[in-house]
Structure formats: C-alpha cells, structure tokens
Amino acid sequence: MQSSLYICYFGLDQPLVQTQVIPYLRELARAGFSIKLLTFEPNAKSSWPSEKASATRSDLATHGIDWHFLPYHKSPSALATAWDVAAGVRWVRTLLQREKIDILHGRAHVPTLIAALARKYSTAKPKILFDIRGFMPEEYTDAGVWPENGFLYRITKKVERWLLRESDGIVVLTEAARNLLFPESKNSGFDERGRPIEVIPCCVDFERRFPEGLSQDRDKMRAQLNVEKRFVVTHVGALGGLYLVDEIADFLAAARSYDERLYALFLTQSPPELIVPLLRERGFSSEDYFVGRVEPGRVPAYLSACDAGLSFVTAGYATLSRSPTKIPEYLAAGLPIVANSGVGDVDELITQNGVGVLIDEFNAKNYLQAFECLVALDNVREKCKIAAERGFDLNRVGAVRYQRLYKRLLE
C-alpha cells in the first residue's frame, strides 16, 4: 500500500481542518492510500491530555488516518515558526528512517518547507506535494502583518521559489492561480517540467454537512433566531485583516435602508468588537444582528436560516489564489452570494451560474444596486445548490482530483 504523510500547521480542532483536511484524507484512505497526519497543536498538553488524544486517534484510525501532533508555538512569531519547522523536520526525518513514505503532502508554505528540508537531509526521497493554499508573502503584506518588501517578505518569497522548484506536484485553489503560475498546464494537467498540477477549490462534504433534510430545519432555526419575517444576510469566518469589516458594515447599512427587515448574522471566531461597534454606528440595535461562534457542525443549520451570504475580501495579487471556504458552503445551503470582484474564481462563478451579485466599487450607490439585484434573482436557491454540487462536491470534485494527483505523482 502506498503511503502519504500530510503535514498541517494547524490544530486538529480548528474548523478548517475539520472541513478542509479530514474529509479529503478520509477519501484518500478509502481509495487505498495509507494516510498519516501531522498537526501542530496550540497548548498541546492542556488541549490534548492522553485520554482525549488516544480516543481521538482511535476515532481517526477508523477512517484510515494515523494522527500525530507536535506543539505549536505562537510568539515571538518568526522565531516560534522557525522552532516549529525545526521540530517538524526532526520528526519527519525520524519517520522516514523508520517507515516507507511515498508522498510528503504539505498544506501551504510552512508544512511544505518542513517536508522539503526533511527530504533534503534524509536518505529517503519521497515525492513532495505542495498544496498552495494562498500566496502567503503577499497575503501577509496585504493584511498589514508584514511591511511591503520588508525582510520577512523577501525571505519568505525566496523560500517560496525554492519550494516551487523542489516540489514534484502542486495544488492550487483557483484557475486564476494556475493561469498565473502554470498556464501551460491548463489543457494537459502538467507543467513544462512534466509535474502534475491540479486545481482543487475548497469543497463541501454534502453527505455530512448538507444532507437532504437540512432545508427542513429552516423554519425551526429561523424561529430560534426570531427572524421569521426578516431578510437574513450572513458572514461566515474571520473578520479583519483581508476581510473588509468597514465595507461589510456599509453594505449592510445600505441594504437595511432598502429593506428595514434586514438582519445580520455573523458566525465567526473573531472578537465581536471588530464588527459590533460598526453596526451600532450605522443604526443597528441588538435585535438586528447576531455575532458569535458556533460549532463547525452547527454552521449548516444556521446557514439554512439565511437568505444571502457575504464575501468581502481585499482584492489583489494575493487573493487571485483564494478559494474562500464560505463560498461553497453558502451555495450548498442555497444562499446567493454578494462578493467583491477580483478574488480567485468568484467572478466567473457568480456571473456564469447566476448565483449572486458582484460589487466592483465600494460605495453606497453600488451597495444599494447590488442588494436590489440580489432580491430580484429568480429561482436562485436551486441554482446555488446546482452550482455547489457541480463545482465543489467533495466526492465528485475534491476527492477525485486528489486521487488523480496522488496516482500521477506515484507513476
């Protein structure tokens, strides 16, 4: 049996790991690959006492996933990451000495760096798969975390170029990213060096997260939220950084001027202070919004109570590579999307499928026009679900492409 080690620089309990890592690995295991997973856990000792860790490891093993973890260190940022990289390299090298691993699968830059360094200083030479989740150097500068063209940007960009050279196969999230990095692979699936390239957007596990009967819970959830007669607009995920909170608040205010029934629902792990004062300044009372975190498994039920989903992200070079997880989840719940243009493949998705509206400029006039177009969309819930199944189904899109990529790597 051919084997893979998937390296992830997140904790197992984080929503993205539960929705965008475990489901893919489960399907790869079902396809016959031996799967190991290495995560980096914040507060590892307190978060994962031995009994809990053993139970979780046993549960994942039933799905064919052999889970291991190392502690994650947060600060000081650059030094902590360097420490974790060194620890990861030691761990992976030891594994390569002990077991036969065919693929080192790195989710984003830091895990792929661990994989490349471990292989460089090991006698074993497994294939390296660089799963590019975004253009990291540009994302950090666009979000204001690093100064533009500063030392950290330049060194990370240099590392990125090395990883692109060292990798034997590559995943990108969007066609826009592939056209930018590997345009020659569009028709053949291989770059000029013969390496397999796949576009695999963030997908949805319909069977587990959006089962057939979920829409029947819509009335129940709307009653629970006390929004039976309101138009509910939601934002799922982080606030701040690349996510445009001021623009989100301005759009909601404009929409509320058109429909006073408007209700804002924020499902986020970010501090409420990032958005609540902005809503208050624009006339929203506590009865007009909800801001809070819900368990990942409950997100689909909340989405079933909504009428539209927001995705406002800073547009630029970095976001050409982004496939926002919220987009397929909105569509799977039957929600049309309000998004700004210039982010990944979102423009084409919305215009070609008629599943939402695009905003080209952030101003009150465009917000109002967008909301008017949104409420006028015809048969949109059905169109959204069709688009989700066609473009973002875990089994028919994500799993198939990962399996194809693994096979091509091992050929």
For residue 396, give the DSSP letter.
Answer: I
Indicate if the pLDDT at residue 208 is higher than 80. Answer: no
Same domain, 211 and 73: no
- The range of the structural domain enclosing residue 401 comes to 3-203+393-410
Q: Is the same domain home to 403 and 324?
A: no
Q: What is the mean pLDDT of residues 376-405?
A: 95
One domain for residues 103 and 178: yes
Those residues with Cβ within 8 angstroms of residue 77's Cβ, 6 or more apart along the chain or in another chain: none
Considering the domain architecture, whether residues 361 and 399 belong to the same structural domain is answered as no
CATH of the domain at 295: 3.40.50.2000
Asked whether 340 and 358 are in contact (CB, 8 A), the reply is: yes
pLDDT at 290: 96
Answer yes or no: do 100 and 43 share one domain. yes
Q: How confident is the model at residue 317 (pLDDT cuts 50, 70, 90)?
A: confident
Same domain for 28 and 101, yes or no, is: yes
Question: What does the pLDDT look like over 11-23, one tens digit per residue?
Answer: 999 988 998 999 9
Is the pLDDT confidence value at 36 over 90? yes
pLDDT beyond 70 at 270:
yes
Six-digit token string for 304:
């079933």
Give the model's confidence band at 75: pLDDT under 50 very low, under 70 low, under 90 confident, else very high. Answer: confident
As a whole number of angstroms, the distance between CA 16 and CA 23 comes to 11
Mean pLDDT of the chain: 94
297-311 confidence digits (pLDDT tens): 889 999 999 999 999
Q: For 290-299, which contacts have Cβ atoms below 8 Å and span 24 or more sequence positions?
A: 290/225, 290/263, 290/264, 290/265, 290/266, 291/266, 292/266, 292/267, 292/268, 293/267, 293/268, 293/269, 294/267, 296/15, 296/18, 296/19, 297/209, 299/15, 299/209, 299/236, 299/267, 299/329
Domain count, the chain: 2
pLDDT score at 142 = 80
Rounded Cα–Cα distance for residues 1 and 243 (Å)? 43
Residue pLDDT, tens place only, 153-189 = 999 999 999 999 999 999 999 999 999 999 999 999 9
Q: 309 and 229, same structural domain?
A: yes
Q: Are residues 259 and 361 in the same domain?
A: yes
In this model, does residue 144 exceed pLDDT 90?
no
The pLDDT of 34-48, averaged and rounded, is: 96
Residues 240 and 96 in one domain: no
Lowest mean pLDDT among 64-73, 97-106, 112-121, 138-147: 138-147
- State whether 230 and 95 are in the same domain: no
Q: Both 51 and 21 in a single domain?
A: yes
- Same structural domain, 275 and 373: yes
State the CB neighbour count (10 A cutoff) for residue 85.
17
- Euclidean distance between the first and the last CA atom of the chain, given in angstroms as a whole number: 14
pTM assigned to the model: 0.90
| DSSP-derived secondary structure letter, 274 | G
